[in-house]
Amino acid sequence: MQYDGSSFCGWQRQRQGLSVQGVLEQAISTLDPLRPIKAVAAGRTDAGVHAAAQVVHFDCCGSIPAERWASALNGRLPCTIRVSEAVERPKSWHACYSAVYRRYRYLVYNSRRPNLFLAPWSWHRYHSRLDETLMRDALIGILGCHDFSAFQRSGSNRANAVTTVQAVELERVGDLLNLEIQASGFLYGMVRLLVGQLIALGEHRLTLHEFERRWQERLRHEVKEAAPPNGLCLLRAGYEESFFSEAAWFDCMPRFVLASSDPPKANPFLN
């Protein structure tokens, strides 16, 4: 499923606020009202965070075949939530525990000029031209299994902060920086805290040595800036076997393509 997280308090149902889980469960219950509905997601996205291919499972006992659930739910969901595809899985399968990775993308808009159409999906950094080479070097350094306590917000119920970063990618396309990170699992607030540090690094407010020291020595008290949620999107969750079509699961968030806003010889960042 996909959702625009702007108006939601996150995936997880809350006592106050509109959650994606709550809205989805309400829609499911109108189609299968004979049992309590609990929708379980591969990743619990925070308030304001989007999803391009969130994977969710729920148990049902009605007569609706699996392939018809997507269209049936879309007719009952707000325009900010869409189900791309539905398939039947064994009862032992779990959207969260069966996942072998989650992959996120963070979009940074790096231009002096604002852009109204990019604002809901990106973080506008206009103070200077970001040093993506330095940021990429820092990302490569976090690959592997480590304790990422420095990038974990308070309030987590995890037993420890150890996780495995499996892949990283940072690409500049004109004034846009696409940052992708894939891991076996993510800590509470991990990507946004990590991106906040990378931006400080790219703006030369932080050295590579300081960045590495903070996470390697687990200096959470020094990691104070978190990137805003609107630039973050859960791209997909991966499993040992493929059961969704590629169109519904693999690359469902379009890549924005934006030429540089300044001629190469008159770049104000270089003056």
Report the CATH number that the domain containing residue 162 is assigned in CATH: 3.30.70.660
Residue pair 150/127 in contact by the 8 Å Cβ criterion: no
What is the C-alpha separation between 150 and 155, in angstroms, rounded? 14
User: Within this chain, do residues 135 and 240 fall inside the same structural domain, yes or no?
Assistant: yes
User: Within this chain, do residues 76 and 154 fall inside the same structural domain, yes or no?
Assistant: no
Domain-located, residue 89: no
Q: What is the pLDDT of residue 158?
A: 82
User: Could you tell me the CATH number of the domain that includes residue 32?
Assistant: 3.30.70.580
**How is residue 119 written in tokens?**
């604002």
Helices and strands, counts by H and E, the chain? 6, 11
User: Within this chain, do residues 134 and 196 fall inside the same structural domain, yes or no?
Assistant: yes
Q: Over the stretch 171-207, which tens digit does the pLDDT of each residue have?
A: 999 999 999 999 999 999 999 999 999 999 999 999 9
User: Within this chain, do residues 117 and 175 fall inside the same structural domain, yes or no?
Assistant: yes
Q: Over the stretch 196-247, which tens digit does the pLDDT of each residue have?
A: 999 999 999 999 999 999 999 999 999 999 999 999 999 999 999 999 999 9
Q: 85-89, 142-146, 153-157, 177-181: which has the minimum mean pLDDT?
A: 153-157
User: Within this chain, do residues 109 and 239 fall inside the same structural domain, yes or no?
Assistant: yes
Q: Looking at per-residue confidence, does 164 or 63 come out higher? A: 164
User: Within this chain, do residues 165 and 199 fall inside the same structural domain, yes or no?
Assistant: yes
**Segments forming the whole domain that contains residue 65:** 2-82
User: Within this chain, do residues 115 and 147 fall inside the same structural domain, yes or no?
Assistant: yes
**CA distances (Å), 46 to each of 50, 58, 85, 167, in order?**
9, 21, 23, 22
pLDDT at 35 over 60: yes
Q: What is the pLDDT of residue 259?
A: 63
What is the C-alpha separation between 42 and 54, in angstroms, rounded? 7
Counting residues of the chain whose pLDDT is more than 70, the rounded percentage is: 95
Domain-located, residue 93: no
Counting residues of the chain whose pLDDT is more than 90, the rounded percentage is: 85
User: Within this chain, do residues 56 and 171 fall inside the same structural domain, yes or no?
Assistant: no
User: Within this chain, do residues 25 and 71 fall inside the same structural domain, yes or no?
Assistant: yes
Which residues are part of the catalytic machinery?
A: 46
pLDDT at 261 over 70: no
Residue pair 70/85 in contact by the 8 Å Cβ criterion: yes
Q: Over the stretch 39-68, which tens digit does the pLDDT of each residue have?
A: 999 999 999 999 999 999 999 887 899 999
Q: Work out the mean pLDDT of the chain and round it to a whole number.
A: 93
Question: For the chain, what is the domain count?
Answer: 2
Q: 12-26, 130-144, 224-238, 247-261: which has the minimum mean pLDDT?
A: 247-261
Domain-located, residue 92: no
User: Within this chain, do residues 228 and 168 fall inside the same structural domain, yes or no?
Assistant: yes
User: Within this chain, do residues 58 and 188 fall inside the same structural domain, yes or no?
Assistant: no
Domain-located, residue 90: no
Domain-located, residue 94: no
Model confidence at 155, in pLDDT bands (50, 70, 90)? confident
Domain-located, residue 257: no
pLDDT at 268 over 70: no
Q: What is the pLDDT of residue 270?
A: 45
What is the C-alpha separation between 128 and 263, in angstroms, rounded? 16
**How is residue 228 written in tokens?**
């805003």
